[in-house]
Structure 1
Amino acid sequence: ITLKITNKIQKPFDNIINTNIYAMQNTLKQVDKTTLKLNGVIYKGYTLSELPPSFAFIYNEDAENFGIQSWFNYKGLTYVSK
Protein backbone atom coordinates (compact mmCIF):
# COMPACT_ATOMS: atom_id res chain seq x y z
CA ILE A 1 0.00 0.00 0.00
CA THR A 2 1.37 3.36 -0.98
CA LEU A 3 0.11 6.43 0.88
CA LYS A 4 0.35 9.86 -0.63
CA ILE A 5 0.69 12.61 1.97
CA THR A 6 -0.77 15.92 0.89
CA ASN A 7 -2.20 19.03 2.45
CA LYS A 8 -4.67 19.58 -0.37
CA ILE A 9 -8.32 18.64 -0.07
CA GLN A 10 -9.19 15.88 -2.49
CA LYS A 11 -12.65 15.37 -4.01
CA PRO A 12 -13.62 12.08 -2.27
CA PHE A 13 -12.56 13.46 1.10
CA ASP A 14 -13.88 17.03 0.98
CA ASN A 15 -14.41 17.25 4.72
CA ILE A 16 -11.14 15.61 5.82
CA ILE A 17 -7.71 17.24 5.80
CA ASN A 18 -4.79 14.90 6.54
CA THR A 19 -1.43 16.51 7.12
CA ASN A 20 0.24 13.73 9.10
CA ILE A 21 -0.16 9.98 8.87
CA TYR A 22 1.17 7.87 11.72
CA ALA A 23 1.81 4.15 11.66
CA MET A 24 0.23 2.25 14.54
CA GLN A 25 2.01 -0.76 15.97
CA ASN A 26 -0.09 -3.22 17.96
CA THR A 27 1.34 -5.27 20.81
CA LEU A 28 -0.23 -8.67 21.44
CA LYS A 29 0.58 -10.82 24.47
CA GLN A 30 -1.01 -14.17 25.31
CA VAL A 31 -1.75 -14.16 29.06
CA ASP A 32 -3.12 -17.71 29.20
CA LYS A 33 -4.87 -20.18 26.90
CA THR A 34 -7.98 -18.02 26.33
CA THR A 35 -6.85 -14.54 27.40
CA LEU A 36 -4.98 -11.96 25.31
CA LYS A 37 -3.65 -8.51 26.08
CA LEU A 38 -3.79 -6.23 23.03
CA ASN A 39 -2.40 -2.70 23.43
CA GLY A 40 -2.96 -2.87 27.20
CA VAL A 41 -6.60 -4.05 26.97
CA ILE A 42 -7.43 -7.56 28.23
CA TYR A 43 -9.64 -9.75 26.01
CA LYS A 44 -11.22 -13.11 26.87
CA GLY A 45 -11.56 -15.70 24.12
CA TYR A 46 -14.71 -17.75 23.61
CA THR A 47 -15.53 -20.67 21.35
CA LEU A 48 -18.75 -20.43 19.35
CA SER A 49 -20.74 -22.48 21.88
CA GLU A 50 -19.42 -20.45 24.87
CA LEU A 51 -20.27 -16.92 23.67
CA PRO A 52 -22.02 -14.86 26.37
CA PRO A 53 -25.75 -14.10 25.95
CA SER A 54 -25.06 -10.38 25.49
CA PHE A 55 -23.26 -11.23 22.22
CA ALA A 56 -26.60 -11.91 20.49
CA PHE A 57 -28.19 -8.46 20.76
CA ILE A 58 -27.40 -4.76 20.25
CA TYR A 59 -29.79 -3.30 22.86
CA ASN A 60 -32.03 -5.08 25.36
CA GLU A 61 -35.09 -2.93 26.04
CA ASP A 62 -36.20 -5.06 29.01
CA ALA A 63 -32.92 -4.76 30.93
CA GLU A 64 -31.98 -1.42 29.32
CA ASN A 65 -28.41 -2.43 28.53
CA PHE A 66 -26.26 -2.78 25.45
CA GLY A 67 -24.85 -6.01 24.10
CA ILE A 68 -21.32 -6.68 22.89
CA GLN A 69 -20.62 -4.45 19.90
CA SER A 70 -16.91 -5.03 19.27
CA TRP A 71 -14.90 -8.23 19.04
CA PHE A 72 -12.24 -9.89 16.93
CA ASN A 73 -11.43 -13.43 15.87
CA TYR A 74 -7.96 -14.90 16.36
CA LYS A 75 -6.84 -18.53 16.08
CA GLY A 76 -10.35 -19.99 16.25
CA LEU A 77 -11.61 -17.97 19.22
CA THR A 78 -13.79 -14.87 19.39
CA TYR A 79 -12.22 -12.30 21.73
CA VAL A 80 -14.31 -9.82 23.72
CA SER A 81 -12.91 -7.15 26.03
CA LYS A 82 -13.39 -7.79 29.74
Structure 2
Amino acid sequence: MKRIRQGLLLVLCTLVAIILLLSLTEESGWPHGLRDIITQRGPHDTGASNLVAAVYLGYRALDTLGETVVLLLAVSGLLFVLKNKGKE
Protein backbone atom coordinates (compact mmCIF):
# COMPACT_ATOMS: atom_id res chain seq x y z
CA MET A 1 0.00 0.00 0.00
CA LYS A 2 2.87 2.36 0.81
CA ARG A 3 4.46 1.75 -2.60
CA ILE A 4 1.17 2.52 -4.33
CA ARG A 5 0.92 5.85 -2.50
CA GLN A 6 4.52 6.69 -3.36
CA GLY A 7 3.90 5.80 -7.01
CA LEU A 8 0.77 7.94 -7.18
CA LEU A 9 2.59 10.83 -5.52
CA LEU A 10 5.42 10.50 -8.04
CA VAL A 11 2.97 10.51 -10.95
CA LEU A 12 1.14 13.53 -9.53
CA CYS A 13 4.37 15.48 -9.02
CA THR A 14 5.51 14.62 -12.53
CA LEU A 15 2.23 15.84 -14.04
CA VAL A 16 2.39 19.09 -12.09
CA ALA A 17 5.98 19.64 -13.21
CA ILE A 18 5.05 19.02 -16.85
CA ILE A 19 2.12 21.44 -16.67
CA LEU A 20 4.29 24.12 -15.07
CA LEU A 21 7.04 23.66 -17.64
CA LEU A 22 4.56 23.83 -20.52
CA SER A 23 3.12 27.06 -19.14
CA LEU A 24 6.57 28.70 -19.30
CA THR A 25 7.14 28.06 -23.00
CA GLU A 26 6.09 30.61 -25.60
CA GLU A 27 4.56 27.92 -27.83
CA SER A 28 2.06 26.79 -25.23
CA GLY A 29 -0.67 29.21 -26.30
CA TRP A 30 -1.48 29.99 -22.67
CA PRO A 31 -2.10 33.64 -21.81
CA HIS A 32 0.99 35.57 -20.83
CA GLY A 33 -0.52 39.05 -20.53
CA LEU A 34 0.07 39.61 -16.84
CA ARG A 35 3.59 38.18 -17.03
CA ASP A 36 4.44 40.55 -19.86
CA ILE A 37 2.95 43.57 -18.07
CA ILE A 38 4.87 42.84 -14.89
CA THR A 39 8.08 42.23 -16.83
CA GLN A 40 7.81 45.49 -18.73
CA ARG A 41 6.39 47.85 -16.11
CA GLY A 42 7.19 46.19 -12.76
CA PRO A 43 10.40 47.97 -11.77
CA HIS A 44 9.10 51.32 -13.05
CA ASP A 45 5.71 51.04 -11.28
CA THR A 46 7.13 49.92 -7.96
CA GLY A 47 10.51 51.65 -7.92
CA ALA A 48 12.24 48.39 -6.99
CA SER A 49 15.75 47.69 -8.22
CA ASN A 50 14.97 44.26 -9.70
CA LEU A 51 11.95 42.33 -10.91
CA VAL A 52 11.75 39.89 -8.00
CA ALA A 53 11.70 42.74 -5.50
CA ALA A 54 9.14 44.55 -7.67
CA VAL A 55 6.74 41.62 -7.57
CA TYR A 56 7.34 40.76 -3.92
CA LEU A 57 7.23 44.25 -2.46
CA GLY A 58 5.16 46.14 -4.99
CA TYR A 59 2.42 43.83 -6.15
CA ARG A 60 2.24 41.32 -3.30
CA ALA A 61 3.01 43.49 -0.27
CA LEU A 62 -0.49 43.28 1.23
CA ASP A 63 -0.71 39.56 0.52
CA THR A 64 2.64 39.03 2.21
CA LEU A 65 1.55 41.11 5.19
CA GLY A 66 -1.62 39.01 5.51
CA GLU A 67 0.37 35.77 5.38
CA THR A 68 2.68 37.11 8.09
CA VAL A 69 -0.27 37.94 10.35
CA VAL A 70 -1.78 34.47 9.85
CA LEU A 71 1.56 32.82 10.64
CA LEU A 72 1.98 34.96 13.76
CA LEU A 73 -1.51 34.03 14.98
CA ALA A 74 -0.89 30.33 14.33
CA VAL A 75 2.40 30.32 16.25
CA SER A 76 0.85 32.34 19.10
CA GLY A 77 -2.08 29.93 19.32
CA LEU A 78 0.23 26.93 19.33
CA LEU A 79 2.36 28.42 22.11
CA PHE A 80 -0.78 29.22 24.12
CA VAL A 81 -2.08 25.65 23.78
CA LEU A 82 1.29 24.12 24.67
CA LYS A 83 1.73 26.42 27.67
CA ASN A 84 -1.72 25.58 29.05
CA LYS A 85 -1.27 21.86 28.39
CA GLY A 86 1.81 21.84 30.62
CA LYS A 87 -0.19 23.31 33.55
CA GLU A 88 -2.69 20.45 33.57
TM class, shorter-chain normalised?
under 0.3
Which structure has the bigger radius of gyration? 2
Higher relative contact order (Cα pairs below 8 Å, separated by 6+ residues): 1
Higher relative strand content: 1
When the two structures are superposed, what TM-score results if normalisation uses the length of structure 1?
0.26
Higher relative helix content: 2
When the two structures are superposed, what TM-score results if normalisation uses the length of structure 2?
0.25
